[in-house]
């Protein structure tokens, strides 16, 4: 448990660990000395030997002062390690997050990520500042006191030494219930975090369906489960704590019994007996305190374990050697991929997208079209086969190189809660204001900006919540235009837009894809018909490929799909408009 926490101490703070442990030991020694010195003080007072009493009281004062000093120093060093650990772990987690496959974020809830990065990290901060020391003290102080008592009465000392390991075993058993609940608390809190974020983001949908008033079932359920997990944990830990408290008192009574037995037998003076009873009561004090804190320490141990598990999450192997890219082409060579190991999705995918051409991917919903785009931009690594972009395997390219030559325009546009200008500038952070405006004009962001009182300085809300779907898409196109990468991977989804927005978005896409290498998950019939190559995907396999004319001639799956879609939309392709030029297609 503690090993997991120790593993998280940053290298530059490791040198503080021996100092911290030395201070914990010195604190325990001084605290135990203060307890033990009460014996000669009481003995001298009962004997009426005030000279000795003063002498021992002075030593007692020194021990108490030393306890205060060591306690302070240990807290300061502990806090320093804790804060250093907090900063370093959060940086490591952030760095690690940026190296994980992009696809990982789709499967891991935002609640779980924030719970680890904010909640779990905060938990481990307390280990060195205020949790570890009392728990170590609870072991060290009683041992030192028991050994010290050996010089007063060995039987009492032996009774103390025997009861100590028994109490530690009881404490461990008493905490089993809480330890089991710990993972449940974490899972429930992660889920509740995710649901709260989801609830806030889904307000428009919930209101549209009148599902806000009585509360959102998923959120209510998650909050109830979190509450129950916390209550269960308390109920699970209470019996253990009570049993432990009972055992501690039983040990105290046993010691009192031994001491009184020795005193009534004449083997111990009354003064020594009173002093030993006083020491015995102090001897168990750190144990009680530790029992209260051991759950928090265990919880911090579990938090550290979760952080370490997260840090061990497989990163995308990052190539560091620079590569010289040739022309912007894409080659899939016998690619196989599945989101889970036992369920292959893409199988035997081989195709080439030559520089400056357009490939349209079509096929039924869920057939794996978007997944092919994701693989080309290395959201995930393939299970077998290879994907080359610009003449090099994507795994052999530093991600900056790969993503530098690719513009992604996917359906799920994410905008940061920043100004429109900052959101567009993300495409190329060093772009001039004029370049940002120019990209904005091409994507017709200027039209949006003109309507807003703060213009380009309008803050768009979390995820771009204050803008319409079409407006968000225009900003994402402006971003891609500003980036001006030679390859465009496009998930063309304009069906949800009104005719004006669709026309504007299509014009933006038209600008974006001019003279570029384009792979498009195509929904518009004009895009499909004028692509240089069409790939028809079904259940993760490319079952037909060719130009529109070739595939219609084959009379296979594509021809059937085309017939169906044309009938549904009443779309006609006049022979004169057959051009392999996407400009014309997207304009139409
Ligand atoms: N992150 C993910 N984890 C697990 N399964 C996923 C993930 N993303 C997609 N899938 C599954 O993989 C399959 C293919 O999804 P994909 O999005 O590639 O299909 P698509 O052909 O683009 O569908 P559509 O046309 O409906 O957008 C689907 O069954 C989908 O549920």
pLDDT above 90 covers what percent of the chain? 23
In a domain, 466, yes or no: yes
Same domain, yes or no, for 292 and 429?
no
pLDDT above 60 (res 572): no
Q: Report CA-CA distances (Å) from 497 to 206, 452, 493, 506, 521.
A: 20, 20, 9, 11, 17
**Diameter of the chain by CA atoms?**
121
With beta carbons less than 8 A apart as the criterion, state whether 13 and 84 touch: yes
With beta carbons less than 8 A apart as the criterion, state whether 336 and 347 touch: yes
Beta bridge partners of 490: 409, 520
Q: How far is CA 287 from the centre of its chain?
A: 35
CA of 363 to the centre of ligand 1 (A): 12
Helix (H, G, I), strand (E, B) or coil at 95: helix
Sign of CA pseudo-dihedral 448, 449, 453, 457? positive
Nearest to 192 by CA among 237, 236, 229: 229
The region of weakest confidence among 52-56, 90-94, 369-373, 568-572 is 568-572
| 292: CATH | 1.20.1560.10
- Ligand 1 atom 30, closest CA: 366
Contacts of residue 389, defined as CB under 8 A and 6 or more positions apart, other chains included, come to 325, 328, 329, 330, 376, 397, 402, 405, 406, 487
pLDDT above 50 (res 583): no
Hey, what long-range contacts does 167-171 have (CB within 8 A, 24 or more apart)? 167/244, 167/247, 167/248, 167/251, 167/287, 168/139, 170/243, 170/244, 170/247, 171/244, 171/287, 171/290, 171/291, 171/294
With beta carbons less than 8 A apart as the criterion, state whether 137 and 290 touch: yes
The region of weakest confidence among 107-116, 252-261, 412-421 is 107-116
pLDDT by residue (tens digit) across 325-347?
Answer: 788 899 999 999 998 878 899 99
Beta bridge partners of 517: 487
Hey, what long-range contacts does 568-576 have (CB within 8 A, 24 or more apart)? 569/525, 571/525, 571/526, 573/525, 573/526, 573/529, 573/548
In a domain, 282, yes or no: yes
With beta carbons less than 8 A apart as the criterion, state whether 131 and 301 touch: no
With beta carbons less than 8 A apart as the criterion, state whether 109 and 33 touch: no
Tell me the pLDDT of the chain averaged across its residues.
83
Nearest to 184 by CA among 299, 77, 294, 81: 299
Residue 540 pLDDT class (50, 70, 90 cuts): very high
- Ligand 1 atom 6, closest CA: 339
Same domain, yes or no, for 14 and 161?
yes
Same domain, yes or no, for 420 and 299?
no
pLDDT given for residue 550 in this prediction: 92
In a domain, 346, yes or no: no
Number of domains in the chain: 2
The stretches of 175-216 forming alpha helices (DSSP H) are: 176-201, 203-208
pLDDT given for residue 207 in this prediction: 66
pLDDT by residue (tens digit) across 201-216?
Answer: 667 666 666 655 555 6
| Domain limits for position 420 | 406-484
Helix (H, G, I), strand (E, B) or coil at 473: helix
* CA–CA gap between residue 160 and residue 154 (Å, rounded): 10
DSSP 575: G
Pick from 335, 366, 374, 411 the residue to mutate for probing ligand 1's pocket: most ligand atoms within 8 Å of its CB.
Answer: 366
* CA–CA gap between residue 408 and residue 200 (Å, rounded): 27
- Among 282, 311, 340, the domain-final residue is 311
pLDDT given for residue 30 in this prediction: 95
- Among 287, 311, 335, the domain-final residue is 311
Same domain, yes or no, for 281 and 423?
no
> Once rounded to an integer, what is the mean pLDDT over residues 265-283?
86
> Once rounded to an integer, what is the mean pLDDT over residues 285-289?
77
Same domain, yes or no, for 283 and 410?
no
pLDDT above 50 (res 587): no
In a domain, 538, yes or no: no
With beta carbons less than 8 A apart as the criterion, state whether 346 and 338 touch: yes
Ligand 1 neighbourhood includes 345 CB (under 6 angstroms)? yes
* CA–CA gap between residue 61 and residue 280 (Å, rounded): 20
Same domain, yes or no, for 284 and 429?
no
CA of 545 to the centre of ligand 1 (A): 21
Helix (H, G, I), strand (E, B) or coil at 485: coil
Same domain, yes or no, for 151 and 9?
yes
> Once rounded to an integer, what is the mean pLDDT over residues 254-267?
90
With the CA atoms of 391, 397, 400 and 404 taken in that order, what torsion angle do they form, in degrees rounded to the nearest 10? Answer: 10
The region of weakest confidence among 14-28, 241-255, 298-312, 563-577 is 563-577
In a domain, 542, yes or no: no
Ligand 1 neighbourhood includes 367 CB (under 6 angstroms)? yes
Q: How far is CA 383 from the centre of its chain?
A: 25
Same domain, yes or no, for 411 and 306?
no
Ligand 1 neighbourhood includes 540 CB (under 6 angstroms)? no
With beta carbons less than 8 A apart as the criterion, state whether 456 and 421 touch: yes
In a domain, 108, yes or no: yes
CA of 371 to the centre of ligand 1 (A): 6
With beta carbons less than 8 A apart as the criterion, state whether 308 and 89 touch: no
ipTM over 0.90: yes
With the CA atoms of 302, 303, 305 and 307 taken in that order, what torsion angle do they form, in degrees rounded to the nearest 10? Answer: 170
- Ligand 1 atom 1, closest CA: 106
Residue 438 pLDDT class (50, 70, 90 cuts): confident
Q: Report CA-CA distances (Å) from 272 to 55, 151, 156, 280, 576.
A: 17, 12, 11, 12, 113
Same domain, yes or no, for 305 and 412?
no
In a domain, 265, yes or no: yes
With beta carbons less than 8 A apart as the criterion, state whether 130 and 78 touch: yes
* CA–CA gap between residue 353 and residue 513 (Å, rounded): 14
* CA–CA gap between residue 314 and residue 142 (Å, rounded): 45
> Once rounded to an integer, what is the mean pLDDT over residues 409-420?
80
- Ligand 1 atom 20, closest CA: 366
Same domain, yes or no, for 65 and 193?
yes
Ligand 1 neighbourhood includes 368 CB (under 6 angstroms)? yes
Same domain, yes or no, for 435 and 299?
no
pLDDT above 70 covers what percent of the chain? 90
pLDDT given for residue 440 in this prediction: 87
Same domain, yes or no, for 298 and 421?
no
| 419: CATH | 3.40.50.300
- Among 281, 311, 341, the domain-final residue is 311
In a domain, 204, yes or no: yes
CA of 489 to the centre of ligand 1 (A): 16
Which tokens go with 210?
């009148």
CA of 521 to the centre of ligand 1 (A): 13
Contacts of residue 82, defined as CB under 8 A and 6 or more positions apart, other chains included, come to 124, 125, 126, 127, 128, 129
Tell which atom from ligand 1 comes closest to the C-alpha of 411: 27
Query: Between vectors from CA 16 to CA 13 and to CA 18, what angle results, nearest 5°?
Result: 135
CA of 7 to the centre of ligand 1 (A): 38
């Amino acid at each position: 448990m503690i090993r997991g926490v120790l593993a998280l101490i940053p290298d530059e703070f490791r040198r503080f660990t021996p100092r911290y442990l030395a201070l914990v030991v010195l604190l325990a020694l001084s605290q135990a000395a203060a307890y033990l010195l009460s014996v000669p003080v009481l003995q001298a007072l009962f004997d009426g030997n005030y000279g000795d009493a003063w002498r021992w009281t002075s030593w007692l004062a020194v021990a108490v002062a030393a306890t205060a000093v060591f306690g302070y120093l240990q807290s300061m060093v502990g806090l320093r390690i804790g804060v250093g650990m907090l900063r370093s772990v959060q940086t490591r987690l952030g760095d690690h997050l940026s190296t994980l496959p992009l696809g990982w974020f789709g499967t891991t809830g935002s609640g779980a990520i924030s719970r680890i990065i904010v909640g779990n990290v905060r938990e481990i901060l307390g280990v060195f500042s205020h949790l570890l020391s009392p728990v170590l003290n609870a072991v060290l102080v009683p041992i030192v006191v028991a050994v010290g008592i050996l010089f007063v009465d060995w039987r009492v000392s032996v009774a103390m030494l025997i009861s100590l390991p028994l109490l530690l075993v009881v404490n461990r058993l008493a905490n089993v219930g809480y330890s089991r609940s710990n993972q449940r608390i974490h899972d429930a809190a992660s889920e509740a975090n995710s649901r709260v974020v989801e609830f806030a983001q889904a307000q428009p949908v919930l209101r549209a369906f009148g599902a806000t008033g009585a509360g959102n079932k998923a959120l209510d359920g998650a909050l109830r489960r979190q509450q129950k997990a916390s209550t269960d944990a308390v109920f699970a830990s209470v019996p253990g704590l009570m049993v432990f408290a009972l055992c501690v008192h039983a040990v105290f009574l046993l010691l009192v019994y031994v001491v009184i037995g020795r005193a009534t037998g004449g083997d111990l003076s009354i003064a020594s007996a009173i002093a030993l009873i006083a020491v015995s009561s102090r001897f168990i004090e750190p144990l009680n305190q530790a029992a209260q804190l051991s759950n928090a320490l265990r919880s911090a141990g579990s938090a550290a374990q979760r952080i370490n598990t997260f840090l061990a999450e497989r990163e995308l192997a990052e190539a560091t050697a620079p590569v010289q890219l040739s022309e912007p082409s894409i080659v899939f060579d016998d690619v196989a991929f599945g989101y889970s190991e036992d369920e292959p999705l893409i199988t035997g995918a081989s195709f080439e997208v030559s520089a400056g051409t357009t490939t349209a991917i079509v096929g039924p919903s869920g057939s794996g079209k978007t997944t092919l785009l994701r693989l080309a931009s290395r959201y995930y690594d393939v299970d077998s086969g290879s994907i080359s972009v610009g003449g090099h395997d994507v795994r052999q390219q530093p991600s900056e190189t790969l993503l530098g030559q690719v513009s992604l325009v996917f359906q799920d546009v994410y905008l940061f809660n920043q100004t429109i200008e900052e959101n567009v500038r993300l495409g190329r952070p060093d772009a001039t204001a004029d370049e940002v405006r120019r990209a904005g004009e091409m994507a017709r962001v200027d039209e949006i900006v003109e309507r807003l009182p703060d213009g380009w300085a309008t803050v768009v809300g979390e995820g771009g919540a204050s803008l319409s779907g079409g407006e968000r898409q225009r900003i994402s196109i402006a971003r891609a235009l500003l980036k001006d990468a030679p390859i465009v991977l496009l998930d063309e989804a304009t069906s949800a837009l009104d005719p004006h927005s669709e026309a504007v978005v299509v014009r933006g896409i038209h600008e974006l894809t001019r003279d570029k290498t384009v792979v498009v998950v195509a929904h518009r019939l004009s895009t499909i018909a004028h692509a240089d190559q069409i790939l028809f995907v079904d259940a993760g396999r490319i079952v037909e490929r060719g130009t529109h004319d070739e595939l219609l001639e084959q009379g296979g799956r594509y021809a059937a799909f085309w017939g169906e879609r044309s009938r549904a939309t009443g779309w006609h392709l006049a022979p004169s408009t057959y051009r392999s030029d996407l400009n014309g297609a997207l304009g139409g």
